[in-house]
Structure 1
Amino acid sequence: MKSFQEMELYRPLEKRLAELDYTVPTPIQAQTIPAAVEGKDILGCAQTGTGKTAAFALPILDYLGHDAPRAASGRPLVLVLAPTRELAIQIGQSFHTYGKHVRFRQTLVYGGVGQSEQVRSLKKGAHVLIATPGRLIDLMDQGHVQLSDVEILVLDEADRMLDMGFMPAIKKIIAKLPDDRQSLFFSATMPPKIRQLADQLLFNPFEVNVTPKTKSVAKIDQSVRMMERSEKVERLVKVLRGDDVVRSIVFTRTKHGANALTRKLEKHQISAVAIHGNKSQSARQKALGAFRDNRISVLVATDVAARGIDIDDVTHVVNFDMPVDPESYVHRVGRTGRAGADGIAISFCTADEQDKLREIEKLIGQPLRVQNPGAKLSEPTGNAAASRKPSGRNGLRSNGSPATGGHRHKKRYAKGGWNKRRATAKA
């Protein structure tokens, strides 16, 4: 595996990596960075906690250091799409950290806050635009953003964008991009609809897969406890009071459930805070800050709200409710065991949720260890029992337009940098 120094990145960028004590890249960085620097499209299958953000941020900063023209008002050169505002903010922080010695400007746009400051930042000009799809569409419709100069597109956590219903917005955004661009596409899982989107978006991509065959992080101790729904709160309290529990994320299926569970934990003198889509941006940031600083030991979250949370030393993940779709299980347990650390993931499962358990086991390719195999459960309710039929994943591809025209020429020259094709044409 090459060291960062052997990759021969932009010298000030190498200096910054040395200051951060970054010497050996993670597997996804080692595979992605050289190919991305050469201008290749990337199809990356990788979970969170693998160093994925640096895998795309460093090649982009290398390009900006070597070859970036002056930032034009409302016309970014790089577009990074993320599913949630939390992830967008963290990506922005990563660019700021890695790019300390690189002359570039970035702008973040996301919902949940007023847009006036974001519009002002866009007008000043930004090389890198990091955005959630909904807010970006709003700003495009108002004429504040033009995407015709985009040289590099990054689509991060594509599977979660699919889950959140962003595919129409993403396709609308992509339609405004030039065909002659580089695209970097990352997803923790690769269901058929995501593979279809990648086929339409990418040109002869370099594929990177650092996801273990089991599709969940190998160093995480994963288990399931069978129980009645009425037992869940009591069992959760016992888990959270364990001597080995330092910092935990508890997942619920609904926003209401997250709020209700947080109140119940507080009655048991367990410091907890809920985070979900109905919370304001300031409230979410305040909650994450308290959790990161250990002022709160338990974060109760829904799937959508938890995406993009990048906090080390989460020792336990508890699935208070089994996830609606099996891919969400992979994302949930990925909140612990980050950067090679050990972690524990416990799922609470009722009789009504056993179908969900089987779907998860099918996806990850292994059975989850049952902590209490002799547990006697009530019979499933009528709806759950009726739903028990052979489960099949929707593998049929919808009819989508084929990828455009087959000759997209990459714009790298010598050691780094895209040719200023548009700038030359305008001169």
Structure 2
Amino acid sequence: MASTRKEPPDLAALLRQKKAQEALAAKPRFIPKKERERLEAEKKAKEEEEERKRQQAARSSNTNGAFPNKQVSSAQPDRGIPTGPKAMRNPVNGDRPHRDDARNGQTNGSRQDRKRGRNDEEERKVELERMDEAELRAKYMGPVVNQSTFSAKKKRRRTAANKFNFDWDPDDDTSRPHDPIYAEQVQPLVRLGGYEMTDELIQRKAEAIRRGDPETGEERARQLLEQHERAKQRAERKNLGKHWSEKPLEEMKERDWRIFKENFGIATKGGLIPNPMRSWQESNLPRRLLDIVADVGYDEPTPIQRAAIPIAMQSRDLIGVAVTGSGKTAAFLLPLLVYISELPPLTEINKNDGPYALILAPTRELVQQIESEAKKFATPLGFTVVSIVGGHSLEEQAFALRNGAEIIVATPGRLVDCLERRLLVFSQCCYIIMDEADRMIDQGFEEPLTKILDALPVTNEKPDTEDAENPQLMSRYLGGKDRYRQTMMYTATMPPVVERIAKKYLRRPAIVTIGNAGEAVDTVEQRVEFVAGEDKRKKRLQEILNSGQFKPPIIVFVNIKRNCDMVARDIKGMGFSAVTLHGSKTQEQREAALASLRNGQTDILVATDLAGRGIDVPDVSLVVNFNMSSSIESYTHRIGRTGRAGKSGVAITFLGNEDNDVLYDLRQIISKSSISKVPEELRRHEAAQNKPQRGGTKKIDEGGFGGKGAGW
């Protein structure tokens, strides 16, 4: 059998193999964590074994090799080499360390070595993990580029190095509060010649002048004292630095009045407008009327009263624009009583010629409220106040007018009925007040209002000239007993229709605006919640009422009359007493409902917008808009039922998709309140971003002018 010949290796193949091995060795090899830990443990064990062998070799060489030929004698003790600090501190048998001490020193040394080895091992593990994380991050996320080297600490250090330091050394303080010279210094009175002088210094200077100048010193000293006295009087007249509340009326300057108006939010327009009154004592009202004001409990006048009463006392026509609950009733009642007090009393001859003053209001409830307030002031003065509203028979109202009345308070619809049936004339009427004029226009009373104003006598109309701004001319009598007619209009907003009526029937009126017209008062905290559906709203209403945060009386507003009874029935089911107020109620039912709420017999009133204007129920803590009103003006008057007379209140409004048209205005009016916060849901709502473009909107009128079921 032939023997096989062995082929020599291929040189090219060997070179390729070697090159592949070198390339493989050059590549970084990824080692799993467990494998690295195993290799690290083996390496550590090998190092410990080598360290142990070195220590054993060192101990054996020290024991056998140190002084091999030296004989130890009992006379000369062996002084061995110390092995540690303990041998030097506690020598045993002279200077030789104890055997146990040496062994303990060696044990401690090995223990420290092992501890140092463990720390090094932990550091190596942390470093390996960090390297692995960096390798994986570079593999999957790429290399780190554009890495910022910004350091906030360095920047602060650089900035602080160049920043001016405002601190100062306390040693640099030049004041001397405990120095007796400064403590006893007399306050200067006048500034003369660029420096301040006191009475004492002036006397010293005058005396020095007399002694230094025997010839003319007396005259010069006298002139100096006179100049000082004049400067003192001039400084006292100016009263610089005093607040307006600390000054008497005759020392008030234009700047003081400007600050006064800004403090109370008073803005006026028109010619020859008098300054506001600061207190009741400065109002120029008769003493008897001021005593009645004190008895009623009006301690301080409200802003509208401060501004309007002095103007009305000068027989000026007036337009008062103020938020609801601002005290407008007393603002027009007090000047009215002063006006008619100067007219002849009603007798058998003139009692059938009609009243001296006429007050118009949009709703029966507001009329009766004005009548009640007017009787507080008018009855002690001997004047008669009669109200004419729907819901009562005309015969009954004619009977109330049989002896005449100086003041009549009426709704426009029923008053037109009385005029058409010849139950009333206005032959001597010379004082007209239209309260809540914008509300009367909204309720469709523009035509009845025009009829009433056209029925007034024209002989006492003011001229439409600058004479209408002259208090002396407008206060004089015409023909012995008559006076110029005075017309006043109070409103919360000024729509174009109201402006047209004011331009036609008022003569050069003074315009008083308190705050911003159409805005809610700052004493009402406005809250809104998006609650869809009647059932969810009733549940949420129950949670609010059961929370105990709000004490009665509470008013709940709805939009539709039939919802009043339904919501009231549900509230009674929750354990609360409730009454309703809407246009389908008779006058007796309306009066009974308001009386029960005011007397505390009922906790909650459920009403339509009929109760939104002018109704004054004291201490209403909460207003709930179960249904959001269709206009922002109605919303403003609704929430104005709380937070009245300077007290605080809360208004909670439930919103739904049907209220998109008013969300923008609602957001604006809440954002202007200083104590209310616009919720994020309303802020981001699409409908609240832009004001909606409205075409012609059809108003819903729930009634006419009088009778059962009329009005709101």
Work out whether the TM-score is over 0.5: yes
Identify the residue that residue 276 of structure 1 maps to in structure 2: 582
Q: Aligned in 2, Cα 1:238/1:6: closer, same or farther, shift over 3 Å?
A: same
Bigger mean CA deviation after superposition, 38-47 or 208-217: 208-217
Q: Residue 31 in 1 paired to residue 307 in 2?
A: yes
1:265 to 544, 554, 571: 571
Quote the Cα distance in structure 2 between the aligned partners of 1:340 and 1:225.
26
Quote the Cα distance in structure 1 between the aligned partners of 2:315 and 2:296.
26
Q: Structure 1, residues 368-400: CA drift from partner, whole Å, max 9, x if none?
A: 7455739999x99xxxxxxx9833588xxxxxx
Quote the Cα distance in structure 2 between the aligned partners of 1:171 and 1:360.
33
Quote the Cα distance in structure 2 between the aligned partners of 1:100 and 1:136.
23
Bigger mean CA deviation after superposition, 287-296 or 190-199: 190-199
Q: Structure 1, residues 306-355: CA drift from partner, whole Å, max 9, x if none?
A: 43311111011111111112110111010000011111011100122122
Q: Residue 232 in 1 paired to residue 232 in 2?
A: no
CA displacement at 1:23 relative to structure 2: 3.9
Identify the residue that residue 392 of structure 2 maps to in structure 1: 113
Q: Aligned in 2, Cα 1:168/1:138: closer, same or farther, shift over 3 Å?
A: same
Bigger mean CA deviation after superposition, 295-304 or 350-359: 350-359
Q: Aligned in 2, Cα 1:142/1:183: closer, same or farther, shift over 3 Å?
A: same
Quote the Cα distance in structure 2 between the aligned partners of 1:263 and 1:129.
38
Q: Aligned in 2, Cα 1:376/1:390: closer, same or farther, shift over 3 Å?
A: closer
2:550 to 236, 245, 250: 245
Q: How does 1:317-396 map to 2 (within 5 A)?
A: 317-362=623-668, 366=672, 369=677, 373=681, 390-392=692-694
CA displacement at 1:363 relative to structure 2: 5.9
Q: Structure 1, residues 279-308: CA drift from partner, whole Å, max 9, x if none?
A: 111111111111112221111110024433
Identify the residue that residue 490 of structure 2 maps to in structure 1: 186
Q: Aligned in 2, Cα 1:214/1:138: closer, same or farther, shift over 3 Å?
A: closer
Quote the Cα distance in structure 1 between the aligned partners of 2:282 and 2:644.
26
Identify the residue that residue 399 of structure 1 maps to in structure 2: none
Q: Structure 1, residues 173-205: CA drift from partner, whole Å, max 9, x if none?
A: 111113412111011112222222222221111
Quote the Cα distance in structure 1 between the aligned partners of 2:603 and 2:624.
13
- TM-score normalized with structure 1 length: 0.85
2:603 to 291, 297, 305: 297
Contact 1:82 1:155 in 2 (8 A): yes
Residue segments in structure 1 that go unaligned for 5+ positions in a row: 381-387, 395-427
Quote the Cα distance in structure 1 between the aligned partners of 2:375 and 2:672.
40
Q: Secondary structure at the match of 1:215?
A: coil
Identify the residue that residue 450 of structure 2 maps to in structure 1: 171
Q: Secondary structure at the match of 1:328?
A: helix
Q: Structure 1, residues 114-138: CA drift from partner, whole Å, max 9, x if none?
A: 1212101223111111101111011
Q: Secondary structure at the match of 1:86?
A: helix
Contact 1:16 1:100 in 2 (8 A): no
Q: How does 1:39-188 map to 2 (within 5 A)?
A: 39-70=315-346, 72-73=351-352, 75-179=354-458, 180=461, 181-188=485-492
Q: Aligned in 2, Cα 1:251/1:13: closer, same or farther, shift over 3 Å?
A: same
Q: Residue 9 in 1 paired to residue 285 in 2?
A: yes
Q: Residue 216 in 1 paired to residue 520 in 2?
A: yes
Q: Aligned in 2, Cα 1:238/1:126: closer, same or farther, shift over 3 Å?
A: same
Quote the Cα distance in structure 2 between the aligned partners of 1:21 and 1:213.
28
Quote the Cα distance in structure 1 between the aligned partners of 2:682 and 2:413.
48
Contact 2:630 2:659 in 1 (8 A): no
- TM-score normalized with structure 2 length: 0.52
Bigger mean CA deviation after superposition, 15-24 or 57-66: 15-24
Quote the Cα distance in structure 2 between the aligned partners of 1:306 and 1:324.
13
Quote the Cα distance in structure 2 between the aligned partners of 1:100 and 1:177.
26
CA displacement at 1:142 relative to structure 2: 0.3
CA displacement at 1:266 relative to structure 2: 1.3
Quote the Cα distance in structure 2 between the aligned partners of 1:109 and 1:87.
12
Q: Secondary structure at the match of 2:681?
A: coil
Instruction: Tell me which amino acid in the other structure corresponds to 1:322.
Output: M
Q: Secondary structure at the match of 1:93?
A: helix
Quote the Cα distance in structure 1 between the aligned partners of 2:680 and 2:417.
51
Which structure ranks higher in relative contact order (CA pairs < 8 Å, sequence separation ≥ 6)? 1
Quote the Cα distance in structure 1 between the aligned partners of 2:323 and 2:529.
25
Q: Structure 1, residues 74-115: CA drift from partner, whole Å, max 9, x if none?
A: 511101001111111111111110224312122110001112
Bigger mean CA deviation after superposition, 366-375 or 344-353: 366-375
Structure having the higher Rg: 2
Q: Aligned in 2, Cα 1:366/1:208: closer, same or farther, shift over 3 Å?
A: same
Q: Secondary structure at the match of 1:33?
A: helix
Q: Aligned in 2, Cα 1:324/1:374: closer, same or farther, shift over 3 Å?
A: closer
